[in-house]
């Protein structure tokens, strides 16, 4: 690991070479992945990545380099090379001293991964597999429909040490684990998939907090419920979106447009709208990187700024953006603890952490009861979004038709199509059942863990793609 004095020397070179700000991001990460198909462990892989990212700014221009040759000679040479690329005026630097800052961890761990034997981790996967396999009673017609069960286990132990020319030196250790189960049901040549993927920022004690069997059962429940469903109707209609992973729509269609990465370039539909009404009065949204042990939490972000709770929307009014150091310069704003990256091979930029809509007053049943006809999108699948325009489309993994205020039957093959900012204005009911779910979010600084969440909500009108007009 790079010593403090070595970091001070390399940072000085970044400034000497022409930058007005320099930063080092050292990372040493150990991870393990295991994958099981139909109860048989197919693959186990584990290892370590270790390297350092060097970054320098001159005004709003940035240069970045990474290497895993950690020799001080290489780091000094790299610092000189990228510092020159800024084309600033070389200037002699006084040696400066880094001040170490320690923060109380927001990701405390009781059972570190390294003290748990791999056979225990395998046992957790077997329980998830068993939960899925036995969800439908043995010998029943439904049991025969389960085609394949895939279970994967992930653990990651990331240590980072961050220093910059504001004399800051800090460190963080992020341990995360996740259990994913995917069940494929098949009948008459048709296939439907159900999945469940809980994750947490803890050690192995996570598997004392959840029942892995229930993870498998949930995946099987969705697949079996959908395999015999009729196809969804198409057209404009009210859509009730279920809690938890339903928040992926807000994350994708609105959250990304609130990241300074797109705002600073004027490439967001929310540019210049702080203080303006962008959503219905009932909408409140936050991004909170401080939630203890949450999937998207860290003690400091990947620029060394302590994470914080950022109010994005309050009573329909846009309150602020998610801002990293570089874009803070461009926007004349303060960093919000939102500079994140997958690992040292990426320069950080503004990203979400744990992003969710706040709960409202309605109970979920009341929302359904107040919907004459529409779609209940209980569980969302994947989708895509165009951040510049806010246009999105998302698949509904588990959907139901609502008629006369009642859920009448499951429907499959539905997609939700719309624009993020328009949806915000059309949210007219918000439930009191906020939950969060876990995902991996991909953007220009790589794939990072992020929580999405919301209570049950109703969008008064949304275009549903389906087969039955």
Partner 1 sequence: MNFETFKNAVFDIAAKKGLKNYELFGMEQREFEINFFEGAIEGYKDASSSGASFKTIVDGKAGMSFTEVWTPETAEKIIDDACENSQQVDASDPEFIYEGNGSYRTFPPFEDRYVKLPVEEKIAYGLEMEKAAKAHHPSIVNIPHCTYFDAAERFYVSNSHGVHLECGREGGGGYLVAVASDGKAAKTGLEFVAQESPVGLDFVTMAQKAAERALKKLGAKSIKSGKYPIILDYNMVGELLSLFFIYDQRRKRAKRVIAVSWKATSSDRFSRDHYRQRTLYRRRNLEYPFRC
Site for partner 1 contains 226 (CB under 8 A): no
Site for partner 1 contains 45 (CB under 8 A): yes
Among 107, 127, 248, 423, binds partner 1 (CB under 8 A): 248
Site for partner 1 contains 347 (CB under 8 A): yes
Site for partner 1 contains 85 (CB under 8 A): yes
Q: Tokens at residue 188, please?
A: 């008459």
Site for partner 1 contains 40 (CB under 8 A): yes
Q: How many Å apart are CA 238 and CA 154, to the nearest integer?
A: 38
Site for partner 1 contains 276 (CB under 8 A): no
Site for partner 1 contains 118 (CB under 8 A): yes
Site for partner 1 contains 345 (CB under 8 A): yes
Burial, 439: exposed, middle or buried (Cβ in 10 Å; 0-12, 13-18, 19+)? Answer: buried
Closest to partner 1 by CB, 26 vs 145, is 26
Closest to partner 1 by CB, 360 vs 466, is 466
Cβ atoms within 10 Å of 188's Cβ, excluding its own? 7
Among 1, 4, 5, 68, binds partner 1 (CB under 8 A): 68
Which element (helix H / strand E) includes 327?
A: helix 325-331
| Residues 165-204 within binding reach of partner 1 (CB under 8 A) | 178, 180, 195, 197
| Residues 378-397 within binding reach of partner 1 (CB under 8 A) | 382-389
Q: What angle do CA 85, 329, 11 make, to 5 degrees?
A: 45
- The span of 10-18, 67-75, 220-228, 354-362 binding partner 1 (CB under 8 A) equals 67-75
Cα 247 from chain centre: 11
Closest to partner 1 by CB, 119 vs 404, is 119
Helix 72-85 and helix 4-16, axial crossing angle in degrees, nearest 10: 30
Site for partner 1 contains 435 (CB under 8 A): no
Q: How many Å apart are CA 456 and CA 433, to the nearest integer?
A: 6
Site for partner 1 contains 148 (CB under 8 A): no
Among 49, 116, 142, 317, binds partner 1 (CB under 8 A): 49
Site for partner 1 contains 441 (CB under 8 A): yes
To partner 1, the closest distance from the beta carbon of 427 in angstroms equals 20
Among 4, 5, 60, 408, binds partner 1 (CB under 8 A): 60
Q: What angle do CA 417, 421, 425 make, to 5 degrees?
A: 100
Site for partner 1 contains 50 (CB under 8 A): yes
32 φ/ψ angles, rounded to the nearest 5 degrees: -145, 145
Contacts of 93 (CB under 8 A, 6+ apart): 12, 15, 16
Site for partner 1 contains 404 (CB under 8 A): no
Q: Tell me the β-bridge partners of 453.
A: 356, 436
Site for partner 1 contains 377 (CB under 8 A): no
To partner 1, the closest distance from the beta carbon of 48 in angstroms equals 5
3-state secondary structure labels for all residues of 168-181: EEEEEEEEEEEEEE
String of DSSP letters for 330-376: HHT----S-EE-SSTTS--EE--SEEEEPP-SB-HHHHHHT-SEEEE
Site for partner 1 contains 331 (CB under 8 A): no
Q: Mask 202-221, x = binds partner 1 (CB under 8 A)?
A: --------------------
Site for partner 1 contains 272 (CB under 8 A): no
Measure Cα distances from 269 to 262, 276, 351, 435, 460 in Å.
9, 12, 17, 27, 21
| Residues 293-322 within binding reach of partner 1 (CB under 8 A) | none
């Amino acid at each position: 690991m790079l010593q403090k004095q070595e970091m001070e020397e390399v940072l000085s070179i970044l400034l000497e070479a022409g930058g007005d700000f320099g930063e080092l991001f050292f990372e040493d990460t150990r991870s393990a992945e295991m994958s099981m198909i139909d109860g048989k462990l197919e693959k186990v892989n584990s290892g370590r990545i270790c390297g350092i990212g060097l970054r320098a700014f001159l005004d709003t221009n940035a240069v970045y380099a990474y290497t895993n040759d950690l020799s001080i000679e290489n780091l000094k040479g790299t610092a000189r090379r990228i510092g020159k690329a800024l084309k600033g005026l070389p200037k002699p630097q006084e040696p400066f001293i880094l001040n170490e800052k320690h923060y109380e961890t927001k990701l405390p761990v009781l059972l570190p991964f390294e003290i748990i034997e791999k056979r225990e981790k395998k046992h957790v996967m077997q329980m998830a597999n068993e939960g899925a396999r036995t969800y439908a009673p043995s010998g029943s017609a439904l049991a025969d429909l389960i085609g394949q069960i895939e279970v994967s286990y992930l653990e990651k132990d990331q240590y980072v040490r961050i220093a910059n020319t504001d004399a800051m030196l800090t460190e963080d250790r992020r341990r995360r684990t996740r259990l994913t189960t995917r069940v494929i049901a098949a009948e008459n040549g048709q296939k439907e998939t159900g999945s469940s993927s809980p994750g947490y920022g803890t050690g192995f004690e996570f598997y004392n907090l959840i029942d892995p069997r229930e993870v498998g059962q949930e995946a099987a429940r969705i697949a079996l419920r959908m395999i015999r469903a009729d196809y969804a109707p198409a057209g404009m209609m009210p859509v009730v979106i279920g809690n938890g992973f339903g928040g992926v729509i807000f994350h994708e269609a609105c959250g990304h447009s609130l990241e300074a990465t797109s705002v600073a370039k004027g490439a967001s539909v929310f540019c210049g709208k702080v203080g303006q009404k962008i959503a219905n009065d009932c909408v409140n949204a936050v991004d909170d990187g401080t939630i203890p042990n949450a999937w998207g939490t860290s003690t400091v972000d990947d620029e060394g700024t302590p994470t914080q709770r950022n109010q994005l929307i309050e009573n329909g009014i846009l309150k602020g953006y998610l801002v990293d150091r570089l874009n803070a310069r461009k926007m004349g704003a303060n960093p919000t603890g939102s500079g994140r990256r997958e690992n040292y091979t990426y320069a950080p930029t503004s990203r979400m952490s744990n992003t969710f809509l706040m709960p409202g007053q309605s109970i979920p049943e009341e929302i359904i009861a107040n919907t004459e006809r529409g779609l209940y999108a209980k569980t969302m699948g994947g989708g895509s979004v165009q951040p510049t325009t806010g246009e999105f489309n998302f698949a509904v993994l588990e959907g139901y038709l609502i008629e006369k205020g009642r859920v009448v039957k499951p429907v499959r093959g539905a997609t939700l199509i719309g624009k993020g900012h328009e949806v915000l204005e059309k949210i007219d009911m918000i439930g009191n059942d906020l939950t969060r779910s876990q995902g991996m979010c991909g953007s220009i600084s790589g794939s990072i863990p992020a929580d999405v969440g919301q209570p049950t909500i109703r969008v008064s009108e949304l275009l549903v793609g389906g087969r039955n007009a």
